[in-house]
Structure 1
Amino acid sequence: MDDASRTGALSGLHTAPRTDISQHQGQFRIHFNFPGRVLPGHDDHGYGPLATVVESFMDPGTLIRMHQHRNEEIISWVPAGVMRHDDRHGNDLVTDPEHLMVMGAGSGFWHAEETLADDPPLRMLQIFVRPHTLDLEPNIQHEPIPDPVAGEWRHLFGPEGTDAPLYVRNDVELHDCRLDAGTSTRLPSRPGWHTYLYVFDGAVEVDGEPVGYTESALVTDARDHSVTATEDATIVAFTINPDAPITRQGTIGR
């Protein structure tokens, strides 16, 4: 995607098409969205502490057997359906539209994922954040999240100490929003930080630039940017400190 950006650096807005980087493992399929590749000439597939945003599909009756992650924060965002988790710490958790899960792998965390035969097909995002320090204490958070309100951003996770319901151990925040066709909102921003937008469903325009289904945009300036839905849309936005200290030894999100 090196030549995928459709807008120039002077605008502070870059957009990119659907990723072509995928892995197919039968009932489990993943598409890797690398935010750093939205910016032409950027020498890192990630963007600061945000390593990758993975669109994941699990058919009913799929088991991903127990495996280990190290040195990454893995966030499971499930807008519909269920993702079933168990781990060697005795947790048996269900992540669904009412809950968010953050797994801080730290020095090592073993877990498995599953859908049952009578579960619906699952399409979700698994977000990989680079922690600020290697070999942190492993932890897991599984918390209820506020009900979505059309046209309003939900603050879902942020660095420790924010008012988000869950935290990650670096300078990244996640918001999501449902927009009805024809309605608009402002892209989340924070002074000195940049914003990465991913369209999970539907289509939008950012300052008039089209960003369609599973496409993305990166904003690198301090201006306000409007987002208008051209179809009913579900979007996620990450505000990122591009200068945050990062580690690069995650199992997936290097």
Structure 2
Amino acid sequence: MITIRHRDERGVANMGWLNSNHSFSFGHYFNPGYMGFRALRVINEDRVIPGAGFPTHGHANMEIVSYVLNGALEHKDSIGTGSVIRPGEVQVMSAGRGIRHSEYNASDTEPVHFLQIWILPEANNLAPGYQQADFPAEQKRGTLKLVGSRDGRDGSVTIHQDVDLYAALLDGEESATLPLRPGRHAWVQVARGRVHLNGTMLKAGDGAALTDEEAVTLDRADEAEVLVFDLA
């Protein structure tokens, strides 16, 4: 079964400096039908104006992934990390028993466009942590590249949950398939472009939940960038 979450149905928050679309309930947006999917709790598509951002605030017991599409995102946290995340890079911050951080647009002239993703951890009160890794476009072209996993295999960032996170760049006749083991579920998020998922066309901002499907097949794409979550 595939359930489409159309982009125009998402929650919206426009604060002037931030324009955000919420695939799941978040902040002042509440939809009891979309409280998350399996361990996936938040997918926010955020656009932040130059020089603005999220001032220092705290989190606990959440795996927070940032995936930058355009621009640059500056990160600072209470465990001493300072970094800038650019397109092609994936950041994961394990909040664990508690962490404070800020996320700002690193540019004074260009906006930053990114996906903010929250995943429930498999255990509470873990040690806080931070990882960042670069996955060049050629690694994702025409294939599903593993960028996040429970065990950090194949150079992926470590997410403290039974989840594999893949990224793909697809266009034209390029296609990619991810077999799903029995009992597994998947969420597909189209970050940009258009792509067909198991025969159904999705556009940028659309998401889809897959249950009792044998595979995720992506094809007939138009400059698509796609994230796929393989979930318990």
TM class, shorter-length:
0.7 to 0.9
1:9 paired residue number: none
Q: Which amino acid aligns with 2:146?
A: H
2:6 is matched with which residue? 17
1:159-199 CA-partner distances (Å, limit 9, x unpaired): 13533421111111110111113432214534421111011
Paired position in structure 1 for 2:217: 226
Tell me how many residue pairs correspond in the alignment: 224
How far apart are 1:238 and its partner, in Å?
Answer: 0.4
Match of 1:174 in 2: 165
User: Do the aligned residues in 2 keep the contact of 1:188 with 1:237 (CA within 8 Å)?
Assistant: no
Structure 2 partner of 1:237: 228
Alignment partner of 1:131 out of 96, 121, 134: 121
State yes or no: 1:97 paired with 2:87: yes
Question: Which residue of structure 2 aligns with residue 88 of structure 1?
Answer: 78
Contact 2:71–2:107 (CA under 8 A) maintained in structure 1: no
Q: Which amino acid aligns with 2:98?
A: G
Structure 1 residue 149 displacement after superposition: 3.8
Q: 3-state DSSP class of the match of 1:163?
A: helix
1:59 equivalent in alignment to 2:43: no
What's the counterpart of residue 199 of structure 1? 190
Shift of 1:216: 1.3
Q: 1:100 is paired with a residue of what secondary structure?
A: strand
What percentage of residue pairs aligned between the two structures are identical? Answer: 28
- Per-residue deviation at 1:213? 1.9
Tell me the alpha carbon deviations over residues 2-56 of structure 1, each in whole angstroms, 9 at most, x when there is no partner.
xxxxxxxxxx222221143122221112211139xxxxxx966112211121111
How far apart are the structure 2 equivalents of 1:188 and 1:158? 16
Counterpart position of 2:199? 208
* Structure 1, gaps ≥5 residues long: 1-11, 36-41, 242-254
2:46 aligned partner, one-letter code: S
Q: What do residues 74-103 of structure 1 show as CA deviations (whole Å, max 9, x unaligned)?
A: 011113321001122222101112422110
Q: Distance in 2 between matches of 1:59 and 1:77?
A: 17
1:101-120 map, 5 Å: 101-120=91-110
User: How far apart, CA to CA, are the structure 1 residues paired with 2:101 and 2:4?
Assistant: 34
TM-score, reference length from structure 1: 0.80
User: Which structure carries more strand by proportion?
Assistant: 2
AA paired with 2:197? V
In 1, distance between residues paired with 2:170 and 2:33? 33
Instruction: Note closer, same or farther for the CA distance 1:183–1:99 as it changes in structure 2 (3 Å cut).
Output: closer
Q: Distance in 2 between matches of 1:161 and 1:99?
A: 15
State the distance in 1 between where 2:152 and 2:220 align. Answer: 32
1:145 corresponds to 2:135: yes
Helix, strand or coil: the match of 1:46? coil
Q: Secondary structure at the match of 1:131?
A: coil
Out of 92-101 and 232-241, give the one that drifted further.
92-101
Answer yes or no: is the 8 Å Cα contact 1:158–1:164 preserved in 2.
no
Tell me, yes or no, if the aligned pair for 2:51 and 2:106 is still in contact at 8 Å.
yes
Q: How large is the RMSD of aligned CA atoms in angstroms?
A: 2.1
What residue ranges of structure 2 are gaps of 5+ in the alignment?
26-31
Amino acid in structure 1 at the alignment position of 2:192: D
> Structure 1 210/85 Cα, relative in aligned 2: closer, same or farther at 3 Å?
same
193-202 vs 140-149, greater mean Cα deviation: 140-149
